[in-house]
Amino acid sequence: MKSTLKLLVLSLVLTLTSVQTSTAAVGISYGLGAPYVSQPGLDLTLSDSFSIVARANSFGIDLGEASVDLNMPEVSVLWHPFSGSFFLGLGVGSQTLDVSSTNAVSGLTASTEVTTTAMLAKLGWMWGKGNGGFWGGMDVTFVSPSSSDYEIEAPGLATTSEEYQDVEDAAEQFGETAYVNFTFLRLGYLF
């Protein structure tokens, strides 16, 4: 993991040192997708070939006595190989999954917080970003967790109970499971 982060930082430094400042632009964007419904972000266009994005991806839902919150801030470097709309990207994110549930009969609540570091691989398309001003796009991100840590709070439940073990198994499984995030629509503005 540390070597991957070092490689990402090195490529970022090399990119920044080779960029012509006349083509740089900063902007904001907002994406809608699944599983991350809300995807606000900052965009830094360095040149026709490279850009950097920082996003704050989130999803949350309450279903009666249960709630789920999934968040992942991320930073990615995007490469536009044809100096156009198509891009490939690599990045890193920090996922946090908060899940809680209350038993309606006993009133006992079990909750867990799973935190993972994730490597990201992106593929997408942006329309109008090279012109500055308003732009649109869509992308697909492969999210691969590389390390995880979880905390379980279940007062009143023994750590050997079936319910507690189910929560522990689900937390471990989430921390090891890769998935795909689809961004169906992203709108942005470059200043």
Per CATH, the architecture of 2-190 is what?
Beta Barrel (2.40)
Give the C-alpha separation, 136 to 185, whole Å.
Answer: 7
What is residue 4's three-state secondary structure? helix
Residues in the chain: 191
Amino acid at 140: V
What is the per-residue pLDDT across 159-170, written as a single tens digit (0 to 9) for each? 888 778 888 888
Q: Cis before residue 73, ω within 30 degrees of 0?
A: no
Residue 15 — pLDDT band, cuts 50, 70, 90? low
Report the sign of the C-alpha dihedral through residues 19, 25, 29, 33, in that order.
Answer: negative
- Buried (b) or exposed (e) across 170-181, using 16+ Cβ within 10 A? bbeebbeeeeeb
pLDDT at 21 over 70: no
